[in-house]
Amino acid sequence: MTIQPARGTRDIYGSDLRAFLFVEQTARELAKRYGFDGIQTPIFESTDVFCRGVGETSDIVSKEMYTFSDRGGESFTLRPEGTAGVVRSFISEGMEQNVPVKLFYAGPMFRYERPQKGRYRQLHQFGVEVLGAAQAQTDIEVLCLAWDLLGALGVQKYVRLELNTLGDAPSRDAYRTALVEYFSKYKDQLSEDSLVRLEKNPLRILDSKDEGDKRLIENAPKMTDYLNEESRAFFEEVQSGLNTLGIPFVVNPRLVRGLDYYRHTVFEFITESLGAQGTVLAGGRYDGLVQQLGGSAQPGIGFGAGIDRLSILVQELGLVPNAPRAIAAVPVGNENVPEMMKIAHELRLAGYVVEMAYSGNMSKRLKKANKINACCAILMGTDEFDKGVVTVRNLDSGEQKEVKINELSNALNEYRNLQ
Ligand code: ATP
Ligand code: MG
Instruction: Look up residue 116 and give its DSSP letter.
Output: B
Instruction: Look up residue 87 and give its DSSP letter.
Output: H
Ligand nearest to the CA of 275: 1
Using the atom order of ligand 1, give the atom closest to the CA of residue 125: 16
Assign 259 a pLDDT band (cuts: 50, 70, 90).
Answer: low
pLDDT in tens, 354-379: 999 999 999 999 999 999 999 999 99
Instruction: Look up residue 237 and give its DSSP letter.
Output: H
Ligand 2 centre from 342 Cα, in Å?
53
Ligand 2 centre from 65 Cα, in Å?
11
- How confident is the model at residue 260, as a pLDDT? 64
What is the spatial distance between Cα 332 and Cα 346, in angstroms, rounded to a whole number?
A: 19
Using the atom order of ligand 1, give the atom closest to the CA of residue 111: 27
Going by alpha carbons, the residue nearest to atom 5 of ligand 1 is 258
What is the spatial distance between Cα 240 and Cα 249, in angstroms, rounded to a whole number?
A: 11
For residue 100, whether the previous peptide bond is cis, meaning omega lies within 30 degrees of 0, is: yes
Going by alpha carbons, the residue nearest to atom 26 of ligand 1 is 119
What is the spatial distance between Cα 329 and Cα 306, in angstroms, rounded to a whole number?
A: 40
Give the β-pairing of 37-38 and 101-110.
parallel
Assign 276 a pLDDT band (cuts: 50, 70, 90).
Answer: confident
Ligand 1 centre from 125 Cα, in Å?
9
Share of the chain above pLDDT 90, in %: 85
Looking from the CA of 287 toward its CB, the CA atoms found within 13 Å total: 18
- How confident is the model at residue 258, as a pLDDT? 61
Give yes or no for a contact between 231 and 167, defined as CB atoms under 8 angstroms apart: yes
Looking from the CA of 267 toward its CB, the CA atoms found within 13 Å total: 29
Ligand nearest to the CA of 268: 1
Using alpha carbons only, give the angle 384, 386, 391 rounded to the nearest 5 degrees.
Answer: 15
Whether 62 has a pLDDT exceeding 90, the answer reads no
Decide whether any atom of ligand 1 lies within 6 Å of the 280 Cβ: yes
Closest by alpha carbon to 351, among 263, 400, 413?
413
Beta-bridged to residue 110, according to DSSP, are 122
Decide whether any atom of ligand 1 lies within 6 Å of the 304 Cβ: yes
pLDDT in tens, 7-42: 999 999 999 999 999 999 999 999 999 999 999 999
Whether 406 has a pLDDT exceeding 70, the answer reads yes
- How confident is the model at residue 417, as a pLDDT? 83
- Ligand 1 pocket test, pick from 277, 281, 303 with the greatest ligand atom count within 8 Å of Cβ, gives 277
Give the β-pairing of 389-394 and 400-404.
antiparallel
Distance, C-alpha 401 to centroid of its chain: 46
pLDDT in tens, 154-194: 999 999 999 999 999 899 889 999 999 999 999 999 999 89
pLDDT in tens, 285-315: 998 899 999 999 999 999 999 999 999 999 9
Decide whether any atom of ligand 1 lies within 6 Å of the 258 Cβ: yes
- Ligand 1 pocket test, pick from 125, 254, 268 with the greatest ligand atom count within 8 Å of Cβ, gives 125
Average pLDDT, integer, range 184-209: 90
Going by alpha carbons, the residue nearest to atom 6 of ligand 1 is 258
Going by alpha carbons, the residue nearest to atom 14 of ligand 1 is 304
Going by alpha carbons, the residue nearest to atom 7 of ligand 1 is 258
From start to end of 134-177, where are the E strands?
A: 159-165
Give the β-pairing of 389-394 and 327-331.
unpaired
Using alpha carbons only, give the angle 174, 179, 183 rounded to the nearest 5 degrees.
Answer: 160
Using the atom order of ligand 1, give the atom closest to the CA of residue 127: 14
pLDDT in tens, 71-93: 999 999 999 999 999 999 999 99
Decide whether any atom of ligand 1 lies within 6 Å of the 286 Cβ: no
For residue 324, whether the previous peptide bond is cis, meaning omega lies within 30 degrees of 0, is: no
Report the amino acid identity of residue 292. Answer: Q
What is the spatial distance between Cα 152 and Cα 174, in angstroms, rounded to a whole number?
A: 40
Give yes or no for a contact between 304 and 125, defined as CB atoms under 8 angstroms apart: yes
Give yes or no for a contact between 305 and 125, defined as CB atoms under 8 angstroms apart: yes
pLDDT in tens, 111-167: 999 999 999 999 999 999 999 999 999 999 999 999 999 999 999 999 999 999 999
Ligand nearest to the CA of 266: 1
What is the spatial distance between Cα 280 and Cα 27, in angstroms, rounded to a whole number?
A: 13
Question: What is the pTM (predicted TM-score) of this model?
Answer: 0.92
Supply φ then ψ for residue 122, to 5 degrees. Answer: -105, 110
Contacts of residue 250, defined as CB under 8 A and 6 or more positions apart, other chains included, come to: 160, 161, 162, 163
Give yes or no for a contact between 379 and 401, defined as CB atoms under 8 angstroms apart: no
Decide whether any atom of ligand 1 lies within 6 Å of the 119 Cβ: yes
Helix 83-92, helix 47-54: angle, nearest 10: 110
Strand order in the sheet with 44-46: 44-46, 75-78, 66-69
Give yes or no for a contact between 389 and 403, defined as CB atoms under 8 angstroms apart: yes
